[in-house]
Amino acid sequence: MTTPYLPPNQPQLPPSSLAGPALPVLAETLRSLFKELGRSQRDFSAHVYWDHTAVSRYLRGERLAPWEFVDTLLREVEIARGKPMSPEKRERIAALHRRALEERNGWSALVQVLRQDNQQAEERARRAESELQALATTRQARDKGWRWSAFTNSLAERGWPEVSLTALERVTARALACLADPTAEAPYRTSGVITAGAQSGRTTIGAGVIARALDAGYRLVIVFSGTLNLLRSQTQRRLEEALLASDDADQQLQARFPLLRLTSEESDYRSMPSGVALQFEKRHKALPLFSPLNLHPAVPRLLVVKQNVAVLKKLLKDLRAAGPILEEVPALIVDFEPSPPYLALYGSGYGNETGIQSRIDLIRSEIVSLLPRAQVVRFEHQVTCDSSSAITTMRSESLWDGPPDFVVSAHPREPRWAWEDPA
């Protein structure tokens, strides 16, 4: 029988791998890949909507699997591995499948090979278009800063003067610059302090930092408010006013860049079944969540929780239930409650109040430990540093006890806060 013509430059397997018929070799390769999934054939068949009997025959080598099935199996293996398969491995399997087609169907294999190549080209084109759209969204969110622009525009409409907006922009930009890149391959955890006195606009500054962080790609924002329900509700309300839609223009922004709130003004954090609300969707399942192709399409979560042992334990339990995905989530933790003076003077073992605070700090530290990509920003009344500088950088292994990694002074020279709400 005359060997059918195949398109040029098609990858071929080494002769040793093609000894004998190709179909048994292909079936053995598919079985080896299938074992990596760790699931039954019937469960897999139902998952990919493929006939169970046909799947069994493909894996035993009784029938030649169509390329659509092979491609589906390869995608499922990539998901199970958590990373894409190497192009060389994919091409070797494709070449083996072509050889099996050639041996089994002769000249008709040419038609199937060309159809397979056309399907692969169309799939690559669809993926490329999807990736381009995701990258365009990424650049828009990063370069234009949709949430930050909407936030500052709303402040300007409320009558904030230019000098106040400039001061707010300066502080929030410097704080964000000290945080880790949310798309970085290696996880990096940072703890910093923003100095801001009582009744001086801490929530406004924090809202600005959160808005910038969401634009940059942070997808989980946990806000620790005070110990009272009233304080937590006030913080939730003010953050929603800053970050959510308030008019028709903002409604369009909200539809394009949604924000999932896991707490409300009326309700503190509540336990959720299996931490389902903390499971983040990935457009490209073979890539990590912090990849730009997954990060910006993912819907960010916002939680405003009271610093209460019972509430924090619920959050800690659900974070544990969320599983390994949290290792890929760029998170921002904002602590609006300054450390009590007695805690700094006497430490965590002084009195009942400091004992409770110690338990709270322990739970918060456990929460942070589940988030390797967490960045912690605390608000303090005063931090000892050079008053002539707007930012001080230090290193620390502790996120709450030791010196911070950086300090951003909200007013290095101004005698009063420059962004007090004119209302």
pLDDT, tens digit only, all 423 positions of the chain? 444 434 444 444 333 333 458 889 999 999 999 999 988 998 888 888 888 888 999 999 988 888 888 988 998 888 888 778 888 888 889 888 888 887 776 555 556 656 666 666 666 666 666 655 655 555 555 545 778 888 888 888 888 888 888 888 989 999 999 999 999 989 888 889 888 766 667 888 999 999 999 999 999 999 998 888 898 999 999 898 888 755 555 556 566 678 888 998 898 998 876 556 788 888 787 889 998 888 888 889 999 999 889 999 999 999 988 888 899 999 999 998 765 543 333 344 444 555 666 788 889 889 999 999 999 999 887 644 444 444 444 433 345 556 788 888 876 544 344 444 443
Name the region of 82 (left: φ>0; alpha: ψ -120 to 50; beta: rest): left
123 belongs to a structural domain: yes
- 154 with 197, same domain: the answer is yes
418 belongs to a structural domain: no
d(CA 309, CA 314): 9
- 115 with 175, same domain: the answer is no
417 belongs to a structural domain: no
6 belongs to a structural domain: no
4 belongs to a structural domain: no
Q: Domain tally for the chain?
A: 2
- DSSP states along 118-159: HHHHHHHHHHHHHHHHHHHHHHHHHHH-HHHHHHHHHHHHTT
74 belongs to a structural domain: yes
Domain finish residue from 80, 109, 137: 137
Q: What is the pLDDT of residue 107?
A: 52
Q: What is the pLDDT of residue 28?
A: 93
- 390 with 249, same domain: the answer is yes
- 172 with 39, same domain: the answer is no
Q: CB–CB of 292/184 below 8 Å?
A: no
- 292 with 220, same domain: the answer is yes
Q: What is the pLDDT of residue 200?
A: 65
Residue-range definition of the domain harbouring residue 305: 145-409
- 312 with 376, same domain: the answer is yes
10 belongs to a structural domain: no
Q: What is the pLDDT of residue 223?
A: 95
Radius of gyration in angstroms for the set of CA atoms belonging to the chain, rounded to a whole number:
28
- 64 with 167, same domain: the answer is no
- 159 with 192, same domain: the answer is yes
- 370 with 258, same domain: the answer is yes
Q: What is the pLDDT of residue 2?
A: 42
Q: What is the pLDDT of residue 420?
A: 47
Q: What is the pLDDT of residue 251?
A: 59
Q: What is the dihedral of CA 278, 327, 238, 398, to 10 degrees?
A: 140
- 118 with 217, same domain: the answer is no
- 133 with 246, same domain: the answer is no
Q: What is the pLDDT of residue 134?
A: 56
- 151 with 261, same domain: the answer is yes
Q: What is the pLDDT of residue 413?
A: 45
423 belongs to a structural domain: no
Q: What is the pLDDT of residue 9?
A: 46
Cα–Cα distances (Å) from 331 to 101, 154, 249, in that order, read: 49, 25, 28
Dihedral pair phi/psi, residue 304, rounded to 5°: -115, 110
